[in-house]
């Protein structure tokens, strides 16, 4: 590579990176236009920060999750609520692709997330990690990169002040008047963005289904650790994910 070519390949902080890595379109064209490569980075952590987990991440991520190939698996680790199947199906997501791993301990969540990233059938991992150290995130980042997986880590809004190896960090909230989703990009390979992005409100049908589910699921914590995969079995006997329920 010549000196001129090298200079052209260097990313400058005042420019939006032309990502050479794989990306998956977010399903929100306005957001894609602000992200390097035009979508969620594959093989890297995307951090989703919220005041309270379980409120808005599905609205942001579901369009991309629906793009998963038939037969592939989307793994949820430590989700605050069990996903409402009819609501997801109404939005075009095949719930047979969903594997839910539930546990309250941070160490178990980290172990399960790392094992999921190593499974060939898994294309995307969503992990809720309210308490996690930077070196633990770095380990997940390395694993996601090694196996070319989409990895979303949900953390509290207060984590904004903490260091993170994530290549992309966004903060979510909602406009109470319009129910639009407000996305503030905190970190990307490019210049800072001062103004938040407002995405359209959720479809009316989904809003009704989610409201019904919230009423039914209120005050019903999941004891211990559970591994839920509906309605078909996952992988071969002895697969890393088969061991989650008994080891977490």
Query: Residue 22 — φ and ψ, nearest 5°?
Result: -70, 150
Alpha-carbon 21 to chain mean position = 18
In a domain, 135, yes or no: yes
Query: What gap in Å lies between CA 141 and CA 64, rounded to an integer?
Result: 20
- Greatest Cα pair distance in the chain: 63
Angstrom distance (rounded) from CA 56 to CA 207: 12
Residue with more model confidence, 99 or 200: 99
CATH of the domain at 76: 3.40.50.300
Copy the structure tokens of residue 64: 């991309």
Number of CB atoms found within 10 A of residue 203's CB: 12
- Note whether residue 12 is domain-resident: no
Is the bond into 59 cis (omega within 30 degrees of 0)? no
30's tokens? 């306005």
CA distances (Å), 158 to each of 6, 14, 121, 186, in order?
Answer: 39, 26, 34, 13
pLDDT of 176 > 50? The answer is yes
- Whether residue 33 lies inside any domain: the answer is yes
Domain that holds residue 185: 25-247
Q: What is the pTM of this model?
A: 0.76
Q: How far apart are CA 112 and CA 106, in angstroms?
A: 10
User: Is 9 a domain residue?
Assistant: no
The secondary element (H helix, E strand) that includes residue 41 is: strand 40-41
Number of compact structural domains in the chain: 1
In a domain, 174, yes or no: yes
What distance in Å separates the CA atoms of residue 132 and residue 126, rounded to the nearest whole number? 15
Find how far residue 127's CA is from the centre of its chain. Answer: 7
206-248 pLDDT, tens digit each: 556 556 666 665 554 434 445 555 444 333 433 333 333 323 3
pLDDT tens digits for range 134-167: 999 999 999 999 999 999 999 999 999 999 999 9
For residue 134, tell me if it sits in a domain. yes
Q: What is the mean pLDDT of residues 23-31?
A: 94
Among 4-8, 31-35, 229-233, 242-246, the range with the most confident prediction by mean pLDDT is 31-35
pLDDT value of position 233: 37
242, part of any domain: yes
Close Cβ partners of 14 (under 8 Å, ≥ 6 residues apart):
191
Residues in the chain: 248
Residue 11 has pLDDT above 70, yes or no: no
Per DSSP bridges, beta strands 23-24 and 40-41 are antiparallel
pLDDT for the residue 212: 64
Residue 3, pLDDT above cutoff 60? no
pLDDT in tens, 64-117: 999 888 789 999 999 998 888 888 898 889 999 999 999 889 999 999 999 999
pLDDT at 134: 95
Q: What is the DSSP letter of 79?
A: -
Residue 80 lies in a domain: yes
Q: What are phi and psi of 129, to 5 degrees?
A: -125, 80
Residue 191 token pair: 């210049």
């Amino acid at each position: 590579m010549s000196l001129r070519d090298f200079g052209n390949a260097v990313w400058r902080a005042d420019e939006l990176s032309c990502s050479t890595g794989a990306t998956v379109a977010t399903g929100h064209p306005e957001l894609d236009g602000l992200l390097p490569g035009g979508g969620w980075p594959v093989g890297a952590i995307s951090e989703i920060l919220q005041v309270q987990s379980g409120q808005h991440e599905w609205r942001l991520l579901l369009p991309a999750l629906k793009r998963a190939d038939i037969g592939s698996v989307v793994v949820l680790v430590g989700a605050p609520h069990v996903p409402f199947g009819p609501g997801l199906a109404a939005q075009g997501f095949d719930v047979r692709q969903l594997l839910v791993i539930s546990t309250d301990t941070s160490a178990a969540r980290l172990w399960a997330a790392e094992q999921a990233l190593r499974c060939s059938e898994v294309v995307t991992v969503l992990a809720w990690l309210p308490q996690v150290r930077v070196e633990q995130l770095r380990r997940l980042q390395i694993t996601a990169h090694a196996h070319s997986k989409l990895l979303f880590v949900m953390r509290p809004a207060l984590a904004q002040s903490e260091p993170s190896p994530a290549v992309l960090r966004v903060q979510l909230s909602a406009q109470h008047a319009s129910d639009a989703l407000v996305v503030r990009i905190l970190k990307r390979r490019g210049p800072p963005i001062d103004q938040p992005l407002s995405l359209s409100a959720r479809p009316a049908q989904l809003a009704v289904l989610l409201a019904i589910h919230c009423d039914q699921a209120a005050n019903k914590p999941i004891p211990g650790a559970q591994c839920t995969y509906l309605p078909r079995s996952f992988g071969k006997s002895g697969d890393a994910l088969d061991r989650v329920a008994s080891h977490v």
